[in-house]
Each structure stands twice: as C-alpha cells, then as structure tokens.
Amino acid sequence: MTTTRPPALQPLLTRQDRCDRCGAEAKLLALLRTGGELLFCGHHAREHRPRLGDIGAALIPDP
C-alpha cells in the first residue's frame, strides 16, 4: 500500500530543487510580485533576504 500526503501538506521544496546561484540544495523559495520565483540555498538566502524583503517577495523557507 502506498500513502501520499494531501496536496496541502506536500513540501514546496524537494531535494531536487537547486539554488539558482550555486546549484546547492534549495532551502528558500522566493515568490516575486512579478510572478517569477527564485530558489536559494541557506548561504544565498541569508545574503539576498534583505533585498528580497525590500522588493516585496514572499519568502517560503524549507520546513
């Protein structure tokens, strides 16, 4: 028997998601107001978080 999680409980980020800057495992999804999205590893998330907040991006951390 296979069990699946309901869509609301599915993780937004998986191990296959990679940082757009360096290719490491993504830890943060930034949803831009223009409709785009960016993925960042922990290092690049810390580096770019202030600017992403300035431009109004929704930030979704990996739980």
- pLDDT tens track for 14-24: 999 999 999 99
For position 12, what pLDDT does the model report? 82
46 pLDDT band, cuts 50/70/90, is: very high
> Amino acid identity, residue 12?
L
Bridge partner list, 37: 31
Residue 4 — very low, low, confident or very high, per pLDDT cuts 50/70/90? low
Bridge partners (DSSP) listed for residue 40: 28
DSSP 44: H
> Which of helix, strand or coil describes residue 11?
coil
Mean pLDDT of the chain: 87
